């Protein structure tokens, strides 16, 4: 938290003791269908497991990075310690 130095706020103490919420737990698998004639739809079938966003797909398939703001969200794997 940012505050002026002359403002007497107590030190912020945060404790994160809650279990993390993973995407796979809140994923709904619902939403509007993607237009089969759209570039996004066509690129979707060209994605590979290591791709982080559509920019990875366009760079590999079309030779130019674009649409990199479309993130490919994946289910998180459980961490083992």
User: Residue ranges per domain, the chain?
Assistant: 35-76
Model confidence at 35: pLDDT above 90: yes
CA angle (16 as vertex; 13, 22 as ends), nearest 5: 150
The reported pLDDT for the residue numbered 77 is 65
Decide if 60 contacts 47 (C-beta within 8 A): no
The residue-averaged pLDDT of 5-23 equals 86
The residue-averaged pLDDT of 8-14 equals 84
- Map tokens 């996004």 to a residue: 40
Listed in sequence order, the residues at least 6 apart from 64 whose beta carbon sits closer than 8 Å to its beta carbon are 58
The reported pLDDT for the residue numbered 11 is 82
Strands (E), 23-80: none
- Map tokens 């990075």 to a residue: 65
The model's pTM: 0.61
């Amino acid at each position: 938290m940012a505050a002026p130095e002359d403002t007497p706020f107590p030190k912020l103490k945060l404790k994160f003791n809650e279990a993390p919420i993973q995407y796979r737990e809140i994923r709904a698998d619902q939403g509007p269908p993607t237009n089969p004639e759209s570039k996004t739809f066509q690129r979707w079938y060209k994605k590979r497991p290591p791709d982080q966003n559509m920019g990875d797909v366009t760079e590999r398939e079309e030779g130019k990075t674009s649409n990199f703001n479309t993130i490919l969200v994946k289910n998180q794997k459980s961490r083992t310690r």
